């Protein structure tokens, strides 16, 4: 597996991450932490 450095997290990246997780395992749920978890992501959300 290739590791990449992420400069910015956006909806497209989150969707890709969920897709990859679901391809490997079948989780009951995926829990987000931080500003994306409560829908307040923005320019300073890193």
Question: What band does 5 get if pLDDT is binned at 50, 70 and 90?
Answer: confident
pLDDT score for 45: 52
pLDDT score for 44: 60
The predicted-structure confidence for 17-34, as pLDDT tens digits, reads as follows: 889 999 999 899 888 777
Q: What is the b/e burial string over 1-40, where b = at least 16 CB atoms within 10 angstroms of the residue's CB? A: eeeeeeeeeeeeeeeeeeeeeeeeeeeeeeeeeeeeeeee
**Confidence (pTM):** 0.57
More confident residue, 13 or 1: 13
Q: Residue 37's domain spans which residues?
A: 1-46
Q: How many domains does the chain contain in total? A: 1
pLDDT score for 23: 92
């Amino acid at each position: 597996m290739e590791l990449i450095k992420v400069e910015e997290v956006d909806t497209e990246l989150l969707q890709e991450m969920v897709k990859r997780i679901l391809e490997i395992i079948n989780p009951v749920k995926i829990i987000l932490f931080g500003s994306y978890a409560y829908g307040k992501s923005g320019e300073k959300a890193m």
